[in-house]
Amino acid sequence: MPILRAALVSGLPAPAAAALLTLAGRPEPAGPLTGVLAGLLLRGSPAAAALATLWGGAWAVLATELAGIETADAMGSWLEWPGWPGWAVGAVLAYALAARPMPGGVPRMPGGIWHVLGRGRHVPDGVRRSPLPVAAVTVAAGAGAALVAGQLAAAQAAGLTLWTDYHAYDGPGWYRDVTSALWYPAASVVLASVLAGRLRGGREAWAAVPVAAWLGAALAGGPLQYTQALGATGDPPGVALLASLAGGGIGAAAGALALRHPGAGAGLVCFVVLRTLQALDRAPGEWPEPVEAMADPLLLLAPFVVVAVVAARAARRAARRGPGLVAGLAGPLLVWAVYAAVGPRAYDHSTQSDPYLQALLTAFLAPAVALAAAQLAVLTGRSGSSGDATSHGTSTRRSP
């Protein structure tokens, strides 16, 4: 059963790999190693393998921190700088390995992947070649560029990012801004991919469309992000630029998932909106007291409500739990993948550590909520179908 195997992959190897690699002084490969293992153990279930890898990252942080081994910051660093998307890289590896066919089998990735990996060459038997949807790809690139540029400019204007020299403990720190450098491209690429997927041929080109959105976001957002980061003279702006590129990659992976699994798109868009509202709640300035009193608990509970609704909707449509789990988990694991690439950095400021902790706990608890909602939706759907069939059969027997 993919669900049981995914839980075993998440709960056992990921914390062990994270702890051992951290003690050895090289924690960066924890995510990719977990992804390779998940991909090999969950062959034929690529979405489950990718999500299990990301959930394994949450397991790894919780288990190792409880054991007294500080891994969260280390796993979000490369060459001692923040922004290493190790768990997202692991999820991509897991998806690719799990989707890879057995020897002699038909590839499980028709359509879009062949446009990216050499269109028109060595197309295997059983894969129907389709033309590249130029309109969808163009819209994805343009939307990715426009969205990321708009978000970066608006975030700095609203004080959501500052990119200035900081003094310890007296205000939002540099790590929060690095997380934003990851988040805005990721969110932009997701939204652009979902938008372009509604055009003709967009969903079939599930790899080409997100890659185009990523390139558009990189070309428009990369230089702008680098320019903004120059304001923090004590820290290298190249870190922000690399974080921006990595965030776009995370968004491209999530966008591909949304196009391959339609129910996941709704969850991803909802969590982009939720994360934006949470950022606005932490923006500089005082909100009216009644609004503040209502906003905090609502924003804590809203992610779990969204997970339940999205999971139930997808499971009911498919009459299976699997699509419901994928749809319900895509959003919280996207947010977690971004925060895991930086770490809590508790020594810096609560504007980084508090949302990191919320993303961690949401990602950790979301599978239970999604599984319960999906199972309930499947059961109620079956009972409703049985009731309709019984009613139809009764009326047929009574008719003359």
* pLDDT tens digits, one per residue of 232-269: 887 889 999 999 999 999 999 999 999 998 789 999 99
Structural contact between residues 251 and 187, judged by C-beta atoms closer than 8 angstroms: yes
Which residues fall within 8 angstroms of residue 117, CB to CB, at 6 or more apart?
A: none
Rounded Cα distance, 279 and 180, in Å: 10
Sign of CA dihedral 232, 236, 242, 247: negative
Structural contact between residues 137 and 111, judged by C-beta atoms closer than 8 angstroms: no
Which tokens is 15 given?
């914390």
Which tokens is 222 given?
């990369």
Higher pLDDT, 287 or 105: 287
Residue 287: pLDDT band (50, 70, 90) is low
| pLDDT of the residue at 235 | 84
Closest CA relative to residue 85, chosen from 75, 95, 100, 93 = 75
Whether 367 has a pLDDT exceeding 80, the answer reads yes
Which tokens is 341 given?
């690439």
Higher pLDDT, 57 or 286: 57
Structural contact between residues 254 and 190, judged by C-beta atoms closer than 8 angstroms: yes
Looking from the CA of 186 toward its CB, the CA atoms found within 13 Å total: 31
Whether 327 has a pLDDT exceeding 80, the answer reads yes
pLDDT tens digits for range 52-100: 999 999 988 988 888 888 888 888 887 778 888 999 999 999 999 998 6
Whether 357 has a pLDDT exceeding 80, the answer reads yes
Whether 342 has a pLDDT exceeding 90, the answer reads yes
Rounded Cα distance, 41 and 97, in Å: 9
**HEC string of 140-157?**
HHHHHHHHHHHHHHHHHH
Question: For a pLDDT cut of 70, what percent of the chain falls above it?
Answer: 82
- Provide mean pLDDT across the span 357-376: 94
The residue type of 52 is A
| pLDDT of the residue at 167 | 57
Residue 28: pLDDT band (50, 70, 90) is confident
The residue type of 304 is F
User: What's CA 385's distance to the chain center, in Å?
Assistant: 34
pTM beyond 0.75: the answer is yes
The residue type of 6 is A
DSSP conformational letter for 122: S
Whether 320 has a pLDDT exceeding 80, the answer reads yes
Rounded Cα distance, 33 and 373, in Å: 31
Higher pLDDT, 302 or 170: 302
The secondary structure of 39-98 as a DSSP string is HHHTTT-HHHHHHHHHHHHHHHHHHHHHTT---HHHHTEETTEE---HHHHHHHHHHHHH
| pLDDT of the residue at 141 | 97
DSSP conformational letter for 161: -
| pLDDT of the residue at 212 | 97
Whether 280 has a pLDDT exceeding 90, the answer reads no
The secondary structure of 161-194 as a DSSP string is ---S---TTSS--HHHHHHHHHHHHHHHHHHHHH
- Provide mean pLDDT across the span 291-314: 87
pLDDT tens digits for range 113-122: 434 433 434 4
Give the SS3 label for residue 320.
coil
Residue 386 Rama label (left phi>0; alpha psi -120 to 50; beta): alpha
* Average pLDDT in the chain: 84
Question: For a pLDDT cut of 90, what percent of the chain falls above it?
Answer: 52
Rounded Cα distance, 267 and 285, in Å: 30
Rounded Cα distance, 94 and 91, in Å: 5
Residue 286: pLDDT band (50, 70, 90) is low
